[in-house]
Amino acid sequence: MLELLHTTNRDLSSPKGDILRGLLSSVGDEPHLLAQLRDQAVDSATGVWLTILGRAVARGEASPETLHPRVATVALTLLRNEYVTRGLATLPDSVVVEIVDEVYLPLIRGRTP
């Protein structure tokens, strides 16, 4: 999960990420285009994250209840949110590690009291 999020972060920090952020900002007045971009991005990413999470469930590292698209992609959503809400062109790897260690892993493993 960490490697997948690092890869996504590198993509978002690249010229390709610049183009994607530009597209997202320019389609604000075109709700149908924004919906298409969102649907395509979510559909392609969700399958990968569900597969990885399914393997973690099979190994006993995650609860079967976590096999839900929103849970599976929450780390990716948080990463994207960093770019969108902060207007950043690049994100330090430490933020990626924090998203995984402090949010994603506790979510899929369940917090202990």
The yes-or-no verdict on residue 113 having pLDDT over 70 is no
Output the average pLDDT for the chain: 84
Q: Which domain holds residue 40?
A: 2-109
Count of Cβ atoms closer than 10 Å to residue 6 Cβ? 15
Q: Is the CB of residue 12 less than 8 Å from the CB of residue 91? A: yes
> 16-50: per-residue pLDDT in tens?
888 877 776 676 677 777 677 666 666 678 889 99
Q: What is the total count of domains within the chain?
A: 1
- Quote the pLDDT of residue 41: 62
- Quote the pLDDT of residue 56: 92
Q: Residue 94 to residues 13, 71, 83, 98, 100: CA-CA distances in angstroms?
A: 14, 21, 14, 6, 10
- Residue 81 pLDDT level (bands cut at 50, 70, 90): confident
- Quote the pLDDT of residue 35: 72
